Amino acid sequence: MASRAQFRSSCPFITAEEAATILGGKATRSEEAYVCTYALPGKIVTLVVALQSAGGSDSFIFNDSKREFIGKGALVKDEAGIGAAAFSFVNGDRDGRGSGFFVLIKGSGVLMIILQEQKFTGTPKSTERLDKLRPFIKRAVGRV
């Protein structure tokens, strides 16, 4: 596995074409530090991609994030067969982080792919988005 220092951008993990498929239309791309964002016009729905690493603390980041979502009442599900460990979440508290995946990748960090919705559309719609996103997550992990 590559170390986090080898990556200058998180954009290659989800391509512009994949983002358009996930979001349902051509998205604009922006980058800031190691965070890549794809947004539809009007920024109603955005896709945020980031690989975060804290050296030997990657497992802590992963587990702490999971506990935080559970504590906020999010619907959290372990995702077998993706990275060293993975979970998906659907956040019901309308704090701007509608749904997404956190994937622990040993030796590289935690890959976070989050769908942010300006107007939260509820758990069923967000769960559908996760189902649509899942195969792209598997591809993204293979690119790390």
Per-residue pLDDT of the chain (144 residues; tens, 9 = 90+): 344 444 567 888 999 999 998 888 889 999 988 899 999 887 777 899 999 887 778 888 899 999 998 998 888 999 999 989 999 998 765 555 578 999 998 878 899 999 887 765 555 566 777 888 889 999 999 888
Report the pLDDT value the prediction gives residue 94, as an integer from 0 to 100. Answer: 52
CA 46 from centroid of its chain's CA atoms: 11
* C-alpha closest to that of 39 among 61, 63, 22: 22
Categorise residue 65: left if φ over 0, alpha if ψ from -120 to 50, beta otherwise: alpha
Q: What is the rounded distance in angstroms from the CA atom of residue 12 to the CA atom of residue 114?
A: 15
